[in-house]
Chains A and B, each alone.
Chain A
Amino acid sequence: MSNGKGMPLSNKIYMALGFFFLYAPIVSLVIYSFNESRLVTVWGGFSLKWYQALFNDSALLASASLSFKIAFLSATLAVVLGTIAGLVLARFGRFRGLSLFAGMTTAPMVMPEVIVGLSMLLLFVALQSALGCGEESAGLLARIGCWAFGERGMVTIWIGHTTLCMAYVSVLVQSRLKEIDQSLEDAAMDLGCPPFKMFFVITVPVISQALVAGWMLSFTLSLDDYVLTAFLSGPGSTTMPQWIFSSIRLGLTPEINALATIVIAMVTVFVVVSNRLMLSAQAKRDKAMQMAVAGKAG
């Protein structure tokens, strides 16, 4: 609904204030990460020592490596499951249980995480006792089950994060599928392409943008999650958000500012670059589509 004209001055001022509100805390985090003083809010000169401290903190490095592993696994599985869910919601029309399915795919996005976390934990605890984990005479199936769910840790966190993230992926995929022209898929079907092949040859390339965006969003959501992980992690599995949370509880330390600065720098570069790539890819595809349509018309 662009009006083609620039914004009036009053709106520009409002936007500037809005972005000031969004960015002021982040800027202050970055500034104090270079502070010599241990007191987070007193300026004691420029220093990089907190960055050095960060890379020598083995507890943090271990938790970061676990977090990255879980985020990678969760994002990947969430894209697979979320894409199927989005495809079902966008293309499969009505079926019995559709309303429940639609509800279940979007509910994890709004449902308070304390409830989701507690309920999943109780499921895993019930599974452990149902499988008889910790007992001697377990069958093969039970042994596999116990290997996965036997104790809280990486697998249980992975399942929790995947369930949360697939909701976001399914929304992205669903809205992308509704935007694109269905005639390509129809044409493929008319020419006798089997549905599974059509999905991978036609649909996936067309929605690849949404898949990449969904994967990245899932990765950051998982990397960032504190509450679900608090329920689903065991004694041996501390993730980065848990390390951050307990460090904050212990008092402010400039080390967290240094960590935040690294995260912010990575995110900014990532978002800007991927945005550029997506825009140029979209422009190219739109042009190709136009040419195809024009060719058909001629």
Chain B
Amino acid sequence: MMAKLRARFLPKGRTMVIGIPYLWLLFFFMLPFFFVLKISFAQPDIAQPPYQPLVKHEDNKLTVQLDTTKYKTLSDEIDGFIEKPWAQAKEESQYVVAYWNALKLAFFTTLFTLLIGYPIAYNIARADEASRNTLLMLVMIPFWTSFLLRVYAWIGILKDNGVLNNILMAMGVIHEPVQMLYTPFSVLLGMVYNYLPFMILPLYAHLVKLDGRLFEAAADLGAKPWTIFFSITLPLSKAGMIAGSMMVFIPAVGEYVIPALLGGGEVVFIGNKLMDDFGANLDWPQASAVAVIMLLLLLAPIVWFHRFEMKQREAEQ
């Protein structure tokens, strides 16, 4: 009866309903990537927009000009990195260094958010229902507060005459200010701080679903708490760990604001190079080429994550 009714009522409207968000995303999210790919092969120009058209129509002839210099800049840097001494290569190969900084610090951000966030998510999930809600709310409030302002807060804490240096000096731990701001440390700290909720929430969502009877059974059979944790809790929360790690790692690689404000030009991410090329240098083709390579680097984790999520979804249904 139900199936028949659904079949009778749904189809016509069905396509339309699917169509609205589908077309929006195809047009405003998917299609733009092809323009990035296209412009990455264009030549920069002092014009509006600041690049030359790829397809030219002259003397009744269509000519397509693909300019690969922007990619060559990047591949030359990799060659230079292998051949030249480290110090010189680091100075000259700014794009490679920026990619490397982004990947490295995104990896450590993921690692530290997982290590710090897991026990928090675990404790919230195991708390009784009344305090669970309050604890989750406490995790969420900083997350709802402006991201820029949270980054700004760390400047006041970390700078040479900032809160942390003042406290450490008053305690006599150090005698003169230690430079903490504008170092890889400050960027990593800012990233871990800001991405922590993105790790805690998916972890919590998976941990809270675990059946408490499993733990009781294991404990009744004489398993030690640590054994229970490593042989039951940890394997069963694998999905949450993967989801959280991807929610942190992928956007962290493209981070711009945190290295810009807490790295102060000392720690440059590839996102900063892209913004510089787009804004200050007005070299949109170079910015596009940088984006294409960044997307290629992230494609594997993104596709893998998507497959993983689809499989999870099917398992749930």
Contact = CB atoms under 8 A, between A and B. Distances in A.
B187 interface: no
A145 interface: no
B254 A248 contact: no
Interface string A264-287: 100110111001000100000000
Nearest to A192: B5
Interface in A191-249: 194-196, 220, 223-224, 226-227, 230-231, 241, 244-245, 248-249
A275 B25 contact: no
Instruction: Bin the interface of chain B by size.
Output: 35 or more
Contacts of B140: 271
A260 B126 CA distance: 33
B133 A110 contact: no
A264 B147 CA distance: 11
Given A41-B163, A107-B302, A95 B196 contact: no
Nearest to A15: B123
Given A104-B26, A110-B305, A112-B271, A84 B17 contact: yes
Interface stretch (B73-81, B87-95, B148-156): B148-156
Given A88-B18, A112-B253, A279-B133, A42 B119 contact: no
Given A2-B126, A123-B35, A244-B152, A189 B5 contact: yes
Given A3-B126, A114-B291, A223-B146, A97 B22 contact: yes
B21 interface: yes
B39 interface: yes
Interface residues of A, number: 96
Given A1-B212, A3-B212, A267-B141, A119 B36 contact: yes
B1 A190 contact: yes
A160 B28 CA distance: 8
Nearest to B275: A114
Contacts of B242: none
Main secondary structure of the interface of A (DSSP, over half): helix
Main secondary structure of the interface of B (DSSP, over half): helix
Contacts of B157: 24-25, 28
Contacts of A230: 275, 279
B230 interface: no
Max chain A Cβ within 10 angstroms of own Cβ: one of B29, B147, B150, B153: B29
A180 to B, nearest CB: 14
Interface of A: 1-4, 6-7, 11, 14-15, 18-19, 21-26, 28-29, 32, 39-42, 81-82, 84-85, 87-88, 92, 95, 97, 99, 101-116, 118-120, 122-123, 125-126, 129, 159-160, 163, 166, 170, 178, 186, 189-190, 194-196, 220, 223-224, 226-227, 230-231, 241, 244-245, 248-249, 252, 256-257, 259-260, 263-264, 267-268, 270-272, 275, 279
22 contacts: A1-B125, A1-B215, A3-B215, A22-B193, A25-B153, A29-B153, A41-B156, A87-B17, A105-B25, A110-B247, A113-B251, A115-B36, A123-B32, A123-B35, A160-B28, A189-B5, A195-B13, A241-B148, A263-B146, A271-B137, A272-B137, A275-B137
